[in-house]
A and B are shown apart, each in its own frame.
Chain A
Amino acid sequence: MADEKFDVIVVGAGPSGNACALTLAQRGLSVLQLERGEYPGSKNVQGAILYANALEKLIPDFREDAPLERHIIEQRIWMMDDRSYCGAHYRSDDFNEEQPNRYTIIRAQFDKWFSRRVVAAGALVICETTVTELARDGNGKVIGVNTDRSGSTIYADLVVLAEGVSGLVGARAGLRSVPKPDTVALAVKEMHFLPSETIDARFNLQGSEGVVIETAGTITKGMTGTGFIYTNKESISIGIGCLISDFTENQETPYGLLEAFKQHPSVKPLLAGSEVKEYAAHMIPEGGYKAIPQLFGDGWLIVGDAGQFVNAVHREGSNLAMTTGRIAAETIADLKANGWAMNASNLSTYKARLDESFVMKDLKKYRNLPNVMHNKHLFTTYPQLLSNAAQTWFRVDGVDKKSKENAIVKSFFKTRKVRGLLGDVIGMARAWR
Chain B
Amino acid sequence: MSSDPNIRVEEKLFQNRYLVDAGRPHITVTPHEVPSPRLLALTHVCPAGCYAQVDSGQVEITTDGCVECGTCRVVAEPYGEITWNYPRGGFGVLFKFG
Contacts and interface: CB of A to CB of B under 8 A. Distances in A.
Contacts of A180: 74
A395 to B, nearest CB: 22
A276 B85 CA distance: 29
Interface in A225-247: 235, 244, 247
B20 interface: no
Contacts of B3: 221, 252-253, 256-257, 259-260
A108 B96 contact: yes
A166 B73 contact: yes
A423 B35 CA distance: 39
Contact of B41 (A147, A188, A248): A248
A255 B15 contact: no
Nearest to B94: A42
B95 A278 contact: yes
A127 interface: yes
B89 interface: yes
Given A127-B89, A253-B3, A109 B97 contact: yes
Nearest to A81: B1
Interface string B87-98: 111101111111
A365 B11 CA distance: 42
A282 interface: yes
Interface string B60-98: 000000011111011101100000111111101111111
A220 to B, nearest CB: 10
Interface size class of B (residues with CB under 8 A): 35 or more
Nearest to A188: B47
A41 interface: yes
A208 B59 CA distance: 48
Nearest to A107: B98
Given A36-B89, A38-B94, A255-B7, A281 B44 contact: no
B44 to A, nearest CB: 5
Nearest to B13: A279
A179 interface: yes
Contacts of A168: 84-86
24 contacts: A41-B95, A43-B93, A45-B69, A107-B97, A108-B96, A108-B97, A127-B89, A130-B88, A147-B89, A166-B73, A168-B85, A178-B73, A184-B74, A188-B47, A221-B2, A248-B45, A248-B75, A253-B44, A254-B47, A260-B4, A278-B97, A279-B67, A280-B67, A283-B70
Interface of B: 1-5, 7, 9, 12-13, 15-16, 19, 38, 41, 44-45, 47-49, 67-71, 73-75, 77-78, 84-90, 92-98
